[in-house]
Structure 1
């Protein structure tokens, strides 16, 4: 397979010349020939600084780059929706996304490019569930969703992110009237602390660095869904029930009821099969290293491959799963 990968001019990856394979070569020589089509560098689309995507994606990129001996790193983006567009266009090799925006993109319903079917996006591996959680300062008096006053200023994360795409609609479904604010999680955390906004509605892997930093500096309330609010949200959106463990944050004394959406790593479908196979293998066979990157990677395990029924798997990723006893329906392989 020849590599037909497009990268930004600022970081164009020059591909090594393809060597001829002669009969009778030993396995190591064949492996070297396979690498001839690999990119010399790669970029992982993450999200804003202060969020789990940035920490997870940058750490994963560094681990893969070190293991494979090529240059790689994370890039700040607007999050899942933008990552889908960047991977589809070939501007970046890898990205992180959630199932909701992925379904929209594959159906030609991405808010960034309405009508464009983003079919050059392939799945790699499961990451973790993204809980939808709400944080306010303790002195605000907001202890429940129903306490959020009419016209409250709510930060929903970067424009086009999973949080910005789904959380406003969720809160509208639950009867909350609000003014919408966007920004990076760290920036919104500073605005909350300074009293410039009333609430932050997070959709990010836990622990969210911005929340952990906030609770060190001030008193916060982490607001859970009631059972009724949780079920109403599940009925209306592509989310499932979730419980934020009490030991996630200093502030929590008990588990907090929430909803969540699964995240998957994605790749350009144009990437060489052997390259993607190695990336998948290194990720799923080194969960201890992934947990060092971020503890949410405890669920970055092959048993969760079935959580994706939306994005077709890259043939290189599918080959690793099948070799290791995990079945993927043929209709879900690119």
Structure 2
């Protein structure tokens, strides 16, 4: 009888221990971008970094997304475990029920809070060395691939119009996924893409054919009303000078439904693991304290606690 009681007691203790272990885990859902994109790969890296940095106490489930608008819209039906990526301007538009959220406002949009910045959507105007193009004036008469439906395509078309080139450039009817082969076989003179730097398709193009990534002048950057970004020399093969271009900031967000301790751990672990992530994926090198200024809305109170402990300079509007 005593042996049987001891066995039952051990089994009960094991059950309690397993339950305690399960309760210690914090589960997060992270929604970012399409599975084929660099931003989805960043999500994979963040998930691994959080698991490593918390010794498995924080488990992240990655979800594919069709884009930032969908990410923000899902705030209405999600809880405190939801983390998503979007440009800060889009989060602000949701709270104000403007732009893509016109007529679709929801009180939960005003509960969106920032956690940390991730690599920005950086514009690349990529020209083949053979084209001889060194600046935007040189695009006159050239064939350019813009793609369709993406931020880079929309932004690229806007820049061509701003700089008086819309009717001087031939737009190629080729999918952006075929940009490198099209550049290599001379079907196009260049292509426009937006993503984190170093951008995988630009790395491929630079290695395969040799390219020039165009710099914008300060006046051109002002006209775009975007954030000035410098891509350091040496980022791409054959690039011996810094590239001045523009970017759209991207931030990881949660809502006030997330408890402060979880937001604190998420944010602290991200910054603690960023150096290690940069060793394997260079696009994380573009994330530093200077990007905190691109967060135009409020920061989650839990994340704010970390930033104040770590000595980050924050604006009053972020607190």
1:202-241 Cα offsets, whole Å, 9 max, x none, are 222211111112222223232222x2xx41332441322x
Question: In the alignment, which residue of structure 1 is the partner of 2:240?
Answer: 253
**What is the distance in 2 between the residues matched to 1:155 and 1:48?**
21
Deviations 1:50-101 (A, max 9, x none): 53x2333321122113444254254444444444344565399223333444
CA 1:102 to 1:40, structure 2 compared with 1: closer, same or farther past 3 Å?
closer
Q: Provide the residue aligned with 2:123 in structure 1.
A: 132
Q: 1:153 to 1:305 in 2, by over 3 A?
A: closer
Instruction: Give the Cα–Cα distance (whole angstroms) in 2 for the partners of residues 311 and 301 of structure 1.
Output: 18
- 1:129-278 aligned at under 5 Å gives the runs 129-149=120-140, 152-156=143-147, 159-161=149-151, 163-177=152-166, 179=171, 186-193=177-184, 198-225=189-216, 227=217, 230-240=218-228, 242-278=229-265
TM-score normalised per structure 1: 0.71
Distance change in 2, residues 1:202/1:65 (3 Å): same
Q: Corresponding residue for 1:312?
A: 298
Task: Note the alpha carbon deviations across 1:114-149, whole angstroms, 9 max, x for none.
Answer: 343443432111234543221133334444322324
* Aligned counterpart, 1:119: 110
Structure 2 equivalent of residue 109 of structure 1: 98
Write the distance in 1 (CA, Å) between the matches of 2:53 and 2:259: 17
Partners of 1:154 and 1:248 lie apart in 2 by 22
Any stretches of 5+ residues in structure 1 without a counterpart?
Answer: 1-31
**Contact 1:291–1:298 at 8 Å: present in 2 too?**
yes
Query: For residues 220 and 160 of structure 1, what CA distance do their matches in structure 2 show?
Result: 22
SS in 2 for 1:311: coil
- How many Å separate the matches in 1 of 2:62 and 2:197? 19
- Counterpart selection for 2:72 from 80, 84, 97: 84
Determine the structure 2 residue equivalent to 1:42: 29
Contact between 2:198 and 2:235, CA under 8 Å: does it hold in 1? yes
RMSD: 3.6
Residue 309 of structure 2 is matched in structure 1 by 323
Residue 165 of structure 1 and its aligned partner are, at CA, apart by 4.6
